[in-house]
Amino acid sequence: MRARYAESFHAPTRRELLAASGSLFAWAYLPQIAHAEGRDPRFLAIVLRGALDGLATVAPVGDPDWIALRGDNALTLDGKTPALKLNDFFALNPAMPKLHAMFTANEAIVVHACATPYRDRSHFEGQDLLENGLPKPAISDSGWLNRALAGLAPGGRVDPRGSRAFAVGPVTPLVVRGPAPVLSWSPQRVQPASADTVQRLLDLYRHTDQRLAEAIDDNSKLATIEQTGNMNQKPGVPGPAQVRAYFAEAAGTAAKFLAQPDGPRVGALALDGWDTHVNEGIANGRLAQLLGALDDALAAVKANMGPAWKDTAVVLVTEFGRTARINGTDGTDHGTATVALLAGGALKGGRVLADWPGLKSNDLYENRDLKPTTDLRAVLKGLLKDHLRADDRVLAQNVFPGSGDVKPMAGLVA
């Protein structure tokens, strides 16, 4: 097959490359994993970089202070675009019907008012800590997911011997870097510069360089008219369809790899664009488009996992939340607590887990952010423990160092 490939004169498609490499590196030398317990678990972490607005994703529609807090921007069950009811208190952003269906089928869990131990508001530091699993901002070259894999006991549900972590993207996300070998795959399409990046650049140019502002702005207008999702569209300004396609391809491909009988069992990817300071567009605009893209990505994971979906847990995490109130530009600024979204057939789903802190001014963290009442590490430790059979001590010392007093959340996995 190698020889044939070398002789073919057309540019190889990715499928060919994959097929060709598969024959070369058939992984036959890897130990066959015995699944004594009858479950062959898959774990996928999706890092949402930029700080997802948890209150706009899963709205506390039953909180009496909700409408007053967000006004016209508050999602409601009877709004113009009604939110999707999860239970008597919470409702999901209307852009996520597929996640809603998973929730209804007991395949999704929302953890609300949740945060990492990080309490400042720098994206860079917050993302580092979210991914490296340390209790305080510090530089580390490994992430909690990789260390979790490396620390699994041989012969268990996932055997760390010969097992690889999987990563999507030209750069392996920190969360999955570390001692365990990483298998990486990069989509042919690069992640397009987000509308958010274009907007930031446009703001900068408008203040400093009119000529450049016009160059970017003209292009934005063109793209808005087109918005076809055509991959050949004007560069620089990805349409929503382009973002959708990227999200779905990145997550869907990860699922294809994880679904393989002898493929990797843990994987990670990062999706950008959640830093919604201006014109957030919760129900119909930018955030709704991003959440819709994320919804498609989750659906792609489910579809591509196939029968392995029943053994799957996907966790979507972000570095921190956003301000509880809307700011002066119809957006939200850097906040603290937010949601963690869990999906997968292995979960005991259909539940919103929250020690709800309330939304009155006094209830808010520093009178501005949703107050964190659940440590994200508890959620992750609970998943790693019950799904992958990670050891308590390893979790407390190696995976999330210094997290001895953060108990793994029990009962997430069916």
Partner 1 sequence: MTASGKAAFGKEAAALALHRFGFGPARGSIDAIAGDPRGAVLADLERPQAGRLAVNLPSSAEAARAVFDFRAEQTAKQKLELRAKKVAEADTPNSNFDCRKPGNAAPCAAPPAPNEAENQAPVQQPAQPPKPPEPPLPQQLILDEAKARFDAATGTDIGFVERLVWFWSNHFCISADKIPAMVGPYEREAIRPHVLGRFVDMVQAVESHPAMLFYLDNVESMGADSVAGITRDKGLNENLARETMELHTVGVHGGYTQQDVTSFANVLTGWTWIDPGQPDHGGEFAFAKRLHQPGDQVVLGKIYPDTGVAQGRAVLADLARHPATARHIADKLARHFIADEPPPSLVAALARSFMDSDGNLKQVARTLVTADESWVPARRKLKVPSAWLVAMFRLTGVQPDNAIGRVLGAQGLLGEALWRPPAPNGYPDTEAAWIDGVPRRLDIANEFAARVAATMDPLALVDTGLGPLASPETRDTIARAASRAQAVALLVMSPEFLRS
100/322 with CB nearer partner 1: 322
277/381 with CB nearer partner 1: 277
Taking the complex as a whole, the smallest distance from the CB of residue 47 to partner 1 amounts, in Å, to: 10
Taking the complex as a whole, the smallest distance from the CB of residue 380 to partner 1 amounts, in Å, to: 21
243/406 with CB nearer partner 1: 243
CA distance 17 to 168: 16
Taking the complex as a whole, the smallest distance from the CB of residue 25 to partner 1 amounts, in Å, to: 5
Taking the complex as a whole, the smallest distance from the CB of residue 42 to partner 1 amounts, in Å, to: 12
103/144 with CB nearer partner 1: 144
Taking the complex as a whole, the smallest distance from the CB of residue 306 to partner 1 amounts, in Å, to: 8
How many CB atoms sit inside 10 A of residue 335's CB? 25
CA distance 164 to 265: 7
154/261 with CB nearer partner 1: 261
The candidate with the shortest Cα–Cα distance to 380, out of 313, 294, 295, 310, is: 313
Taking the complex as a whole, the smallest distance from the CB of residue 171 to partner 1 amounts, in Å, to: 5
CA distance 343 to 359: 27
Q: Structure tokens of 98? A: 């597929």
Reduce the secondary structure of 301-323 to three states and give it as a string: HHHHHHHHHHHEEEEEEECCCEE
213/353 with CB nearer partner 1: 213
274/400 with CB nearer partner 1: 274
Q: Structure tokens of 201? A: 């650049």
Taking the complex as a whole, the smallest distance from the CB of residue 12 to partner 1 amounts, in Å, to: 7
Q: C-alpha dihedral over 350, 356, 360, 362, to 10 degrees? A: -160
Taking the complex as a whole, the smallest distance from the CB of residue 323 to partner 1 amounts, in Å, to: 14
259/384 with CB nearer partner 1: 259
